Amino acid sequence: MAGTAVITGGEGGLARAIAVALGAAGYDVLSPGRGELDVCDAEAVAAYFGKLEGIDLLVNNAGVARHELMVKMEDAVWEEVVATNLRGAFLCSRAAVKLMARARRGHILNIGSYTGTYGAVGQANYAAAKSGLIGLTKSVALEMGKRGVRANVILPGFLETKMTAHLSEAQWAEIMEGHALDRLNTVEDVATFVVAVDGMEAVSGQVFQLDSRVGRQW
């Protein structure tokens, strides 16, 4: 395994862990933060990927969450979350597949969420975006498979990152009640899986849930 990998949202804890794992697997890793690559800006995305000679793996990791009940949610809050989590993944994927199709190989790996399959109170924007990401992934897999390009989704589950730093001990206890194994993955666990599934060249269009929730929101 070797080549060039791009991880969006590169300043987050999960992105950093994935970068380390992919680097150890032989990739030249580019892990731009928002200051270097704003995935919501179509011109910035085109310019960033336009400078690359090729790309073998794109990890669409950039994401934000802004929780609010739907009846109280302002348009700007909806649009920010959908633009980052879904439109950003689309813009980056569109740019990447052009390079991948030319080389007749490549892999797009989207970081999704369990919320995208089951919904969650106060997360209509986030759930809609992550659900759309699953549909986008499957469509890319179907459209680009004949050109050797794969697309998959990983649902990492709850991780101790900046995105979950606001949760209280009581909320963490409630979350743990919904996990059959009574434990969570680390960012390093998820990074290990990223490397593993990237090496499985016959796998595409799949959704991988990495925790032990079984058909439950929590």
Query: How much is the pLDDT for 168?
Result: 67
Rg (CA), the chain: 17
Better-predicted residue by pLDDT, 213 or 69: 69
Residue 28 has phi, psi (to 5 degrees) of: -85, 115
Nearest Cα to 188, choosing from 6, 27, 19?
19
Q: Reply yes or no on whether the pLDDT at 124 is more than 50.
A: yes
- What's the pLDDT band for 167 if we cut at 50, 70, 90? low
What percent of the chain clears pLDDT 70, i.e. is strictly above it? Answer: 94
| Reported pTM | 0.91
As a whole number, mean pLDDT of residues 206-217 equals: 84
Does residue 126 have an active-site annotation? yes
Better-predicted residue by pLDDT, 184 or 80: 80
- What's the pLDDT band for 218 if we cut at 50, 70, 90? very low
Q: Reply yes or no on whether the pLDDT at 201 is more than 70.
A: yes
Mean pLDDT of all residues belonging to the chain: 92
- What's the pLDDT band for 171 if we cut at 50, 70, 90? confident
For the chain, the DSSP string reads: --EEEEESSTTSHHHHHHHHHHHHTTEEEE---TTT--TT-HHHHHHHHHT-S--SEEEE---------GGG--HHHHHHHHIIIIIHHHHHHHHHHHHHHHHT-EEEEEE--THHHH--TT-HHHHHHHHHHHHHHHHHHHHHGGGTEEEEEEE--S-SSGGGTT--HHHHHHHHTT-TTS----HHHHHHHHHHHHT-TT--S-EEE-S---S---
Catalytic annotation, pick one of 27, 48, 114, 126: 126
Query: How much is the pLDDT for 118?
Result: 86
